A and B are shown apart, each in its own frame.
Chain A
């Protein structure tokens, strides 16, 4: 690359970035040199299925040899002869035969008693706790996936990857994919429809006033920018895919997972998908009296089971089985004892399912203890849900332990043996140069930036704000081999995020600086 090309590319990035990229043609993104590449996630894709409303764990994975279960659930228990046995003690609800087959083939791990200390029984609060991976008494406004993705792509939102970092099939954007730096994902129900809707939308680049209304305007512009930037590639990749390779159930969740499968097989590299099914708040009539294998809850479980199994089959047929894992979760389980209306009230810990070729398979953890419940009559948790997230990050996505700890809010969680061991997948570093994370970070006045150059080449090291404006060029010109440290005084900077980018002939790297 010569100097002219280099400067052209750089202006392309710093000119058309972040919240004001609308007047830059969409094409600019298609040729974005900083494409999200799958190496960053080892090519792995993770699909979440949210069971909204609080899934009744005990009628999902049934302790069919436990007399207390039958005693406390006289009218709603699943009879022993009906369950699909997993072990000598535990069995699946008979509505889940499709997932039972996957379990038998070692393609499904079930983690039992997943919850957290001091469980909250509000749908909304507990959902937020699960989505943000917070403690029970801690309120966060970033989703754990949003945190993961912004760690993975430190250039966001100055550079936006050429493919969405996350996709939510649905209607109202989930906290899961939100971050302090903006939304990391796009939300739609149907790729074709999405593409058609976005046509005609453009985003302007006018300065945004520094007011509360300006904040809302900035938010809308960022959302609009992502729509404009991504509707094209989503449609293109979706069009690539062979359709109807597998027959999916015609349920809403089935359709969502069908689209996910088509996008993946069309070559979309997005590493995270969120799908949702509601209706699990079964306070009343969760089963039909005297026919407990039927009713609302059985229908929901059947829907989940058949949709997830169809998805796994689809991925296998397309030769993508090793790239994808599906996990279910719900904001809480339900009370051990039934209530007087053929249902169950809000509870705490419950099992969750992880499906794919990468799982070890089997039932993990103790069978639920019904004789030693908490003061509210709910199951005590055995695994913190953040242990499950940490396992996904480290053992499936190949995230280093230190980064997983950061994503979990600087808390270390022990992993759970859900996944097959993978060879050490530390990301390859570029042999020609490196830019280290500044230290200290966050900082209030002084911090240091260190970079290393291993061959003589042209470099530019500069600081940017999140609007993409260049604040200061730290170094520009031919650089010789060596390791260099540059002290920076940010005393007068406005608190917030800043980016430092090293661009050179051998590539580029970005770090994110946090000024307190």
Chain B
């Protein structure tokens, strides 16, 4: 069992949460062992949050004016709040994982009610049973709309869902034939969306014998999922995806096979395989620390968490609206992945434009600290108050070291630390540094901006 020390704790939190504060880290380390923290905190079961509005239970109405757009926006803010308020539990990270796995896009699904219901399914099943989840997703209204299942009927089906079910959701490319796609498409027919719900219409079902992945019968959607999950590639495919999200984007296939073994032995229960992965020596290898490029949500929410912001302090129309436009610019708009493949992540997050937008976001957040004319993040701590929450705030060298150690997974060179100390000091000399000197607030802001502008800060 890996040791439960500050380096491992930072690594675990940076991967399983959207970010963490100094207090979060201290609280995590107050658990006696890694295993206890994983079982009792990260993977603790939680009640479902109240919905973003009563409208979630309203029957969808076409041509609803701007209502649906407004609701999508408020639901996105609501999800930001869940992420910012995640505490030390990884459920929200898993909700995003499943959103990025069983992809649906708001522009095609149209009605926010359906996307809310799908989001709730992911939250309910965050580490539930994958077989059950796949079956539920297959007849989930949003998915039936997104991949055309609701239109597919009889003996001239639409192959859209059948293909993606195997290619992207369960098996991976190369583990099925074009005939399997066509046969599965037949078995998946018959489901429609009525109002908020999916309903089965036997007259639209292709009531014929299908031959699928070597088995023959009059299969329906549940059989298709069961037959798929008999193939060992399914467990490996999902574990590979978990590995890529939580450990490193280039999977260690030997370890993935061990994960898949745990997954199958537990009849596709997700919790045991997460627990196995998060307490493995593999997860904590030095090489992987700091090797993940943060997603835009990890970057934006993470910066707010770093400065101890809570959902109660957020103003939707100013603060969340800003996060919304910035995460769009950074290419991650929740409920709106770019394609059925989802966000690819890692290096795809970074290009000549998005890299610089990240720096602009952190600059802006820091600029609002202690700023009487702040237009966003009015409730963020003043720089001096934030600095004084560190015991070392009056010792420039130690303070820089503390901040850098807390927020970077990456060891900084001595030269770089020196440069940061000089940045903090501005014109003054080391011996004169104090958060009480006039101008300390300005220097602190310059320093925080410099830390968050480091490419190292983009790594989790």
Contacts of A173 in B (CB 8 A): 348, 350-352
**A172→B455 contact, CB < 8 A:** no
Task: State in angstroms the CA–CA spacing of A221 and B359 once bound together.
Answer: 13
Complex-state Cα separation, A278 to B291, whole angstroms: 32
Contact B350–A223 (Cβ < 8 Å) = yes
Q: A121-B178, A217-B410, A339-B156 are in contact. List 18 more A-B contacts (CB 8 A).
A: A123-B339, A123-B340, A123-B341, A172-B344, A187-B352, A189-B353, A194-B353, A212-B291, A213-B288, A216-B290, A221-B455, A223-B352, A224-B455, A283-B158, A284-B158, A339-B152, A339-B157, A341-B148
Residues of B within 8 A of A (CB): 147-148, 151-160, 163, 167, 173, 178, 181, 248, 286-293, 331, 338-341, 344, 346-348, 350-357, 359-360, 363, 409-411, 413, 415-416, 453-456, 458-459
**Is A122 interfacial (CB-CB < 8 Å)?**
yes
Q: How far is it, in angstroms, between the C-alpha of A211 and the C-alpha of B346 when the chains are bound?
A: 16
B355 touches A171 (CB 8 A): no
- Taken together as a complex, chains A and B put the C-alpha atoms of A121 and B182 apart, in Å, by 12
A172:B178 contact, CB within 8 angstroms: no
In the assembled complex, the CB of B172 is this many whole angstroms from the nearest CB of chain A, namely 10
Question: In the complex the two chains form, is B152's CB within 8 Å of A341's CB?
Answer: yes
Residue of A nearest to B152 (CB): A341
* Chain B residues with CB under 8 A of A224: 355-356, 455
Question: Which listed residue (A120, A283, A285) contacts B159, Cβ 8 A?
Answer: A283
Q: Does A204 contact B (CB under 8 A)?
A: yes
Cα distance, A155 to B140, chains bound together (Å) = 54
Q: List 10 A-B contacts (CB under 8 A).
A: A122-B173, A172-B348, A200-B359, A213-B409, A216-B346, A283-B158, A339-B157, A339-B158, A340-B158, A345-B160
Interface presence of A346 (CB below 8 A): yes
Contact B352 A226 (CB under 8 A): yes
Could you give, for residues 188-232 of chain A, a 1 whenever the CB lies within 8 Å of some chain B CB and a 0 otherwise? 110000100110110110110101110111011101101100110
A340, B356: Cβ atoms under 8 Å? no
The residues of B that contact A161 with a CB separation of less than 8 Å are none
User: Does A371 sit within 8 A of B, measured CB to CB?
Assistant: no
**B148 touching A206, Cβ below 8 Å:** no
**A276 CB to nearest chain B CB (Å):** 11
A186 within 8 A of B: yes
Are A212 and B287 within 8 A (Cβ)? Answer: yes
The number of A-B residue pairs with CB atoms under 8 Å apart is 150
B352 touches A217 (CB 8 A): no
Q: How far is the CA of A183 from the CA of B348 in the complex (A)?
A: 12
- Of the candidates B331, B357, B456, the one whose C-beta lies within 8 Å of that of A197 is B357
Cross-chain contact B455 with A220 (CB below 8 angstroms): yes
Q: Would you call A237 an interface residue if the criterion is a C-beta within 8 Å of the partner chain's C-beta atoms? A: no
Tell me the count of chain A residues lying within 8 A, CB to CB, of chain B: 53
| Bound-complex Cα distance A343 to B158 (A) | 8
Q: Are A227 and B159 in contact (CB under 8 A)?
A: no
Q: Does A80 contact B (CB under 8 A)?
A: no
Contact B363 A212 (CB under 8 A): no
Q: Is the CB of B413 within 8 A of A211?
A: no
Q: Is the CB of B351 within 8 A of A187?
A: yes
A484: CB under 8 A from chain B?
no
- In the assembly, what is the distance between CA of A231 and CA of B290, in Å? 29
Residue of B nearest to A186 (CB): B352
Residues in B whose Cβ lies below 8 Å from that of A88: none
B351 touches A216 (CB 8 A): no
Q: What is the bound-complex CA distance between A258 and B313, given in angstroms?
A: 43
Query: Would you call A201 and B359 a contact (CB within 8 A)?
Result: yes
Chain A residue contacts of B340, Cβ below 8 A? 123
Report if A121-B163 is in contact (Cβ < 8 Å); known contacts: A173-B348, A216-B293, A341-B148. yes
Q: What is the minimal beta-carbon distance from A272 to any residue of chain B, in angstroms?
A: 15
Contact across chains for A197 and B356 when beta carbons are under 8 A apart? yes
B293 touches A206 (CB 8 A): no
Give complex CA distance A159, B357 in Å.
26
CA distance A231 to B356 in the complex (A): 11
In the complex, A207→B359 CA distance in Å?
21
Q: Are the C-beta atoms of B290 and A213 separated by less than 8 Å? A: yes
Q: Which residues of A contact B360 (CB under 8 A)?
A: 197, 200
Alpha-carbon separation in the docked complex, A124 to B363 (Å): 36
Report Cα–Cα, A183/B351, bound state, in Å. 9
> Residues of A contacting B356 with CB < 8 Å?
197-198, 200-201, 224, 227
Interchain CB contact under 8 A, A213 and B351: no
Tell me, yes or no, whether A236 is within 8 Å of chain B by CB.
no
In the complex the two chains form, is B413's CB within 8 Å of A227's CB? no
Chain A residue nearest to B250 in the complex (CB):
A212
Q: Is the CB of B363 within 8 A of A172?
A: no
Q: How many Å lie between the Cα of A204 and that of B413 in the bound state?
A: 12
Q: How far is the CA of A198 from the CA of B354 in the complex (A)?
A: 10
Cβ of A290 within 8 Å of any chain B Cβ, yes or no, is no
User: CB-defined interface of A361-380 with B at 8 Å, one 1/0 digit per residue?
Assistant: 00000000000000110000
User: B331 to A340, Cβ gap below 8 A?
Assistant: no
Bound Cα distance from A449 to B112, whole angstroms? 65
**CB-contacts of A18-77 with B (<8 A):** 52
A193 CB to nearest chain B CB (Å): 8
In whole angstroms, what is the CA distance A230 to B353 when docked?
Answer: 11
| Cβ B353 vs Cβ A125 within 8 A | no
Q: Bound state CA distance, A215 and B410, in angstroms?
A: 12
How far, in whole Å, are A54 and B354 apart by their CA atoms in the complex? Answer: 27
CB <8 Å contact, B148 and A283: yes
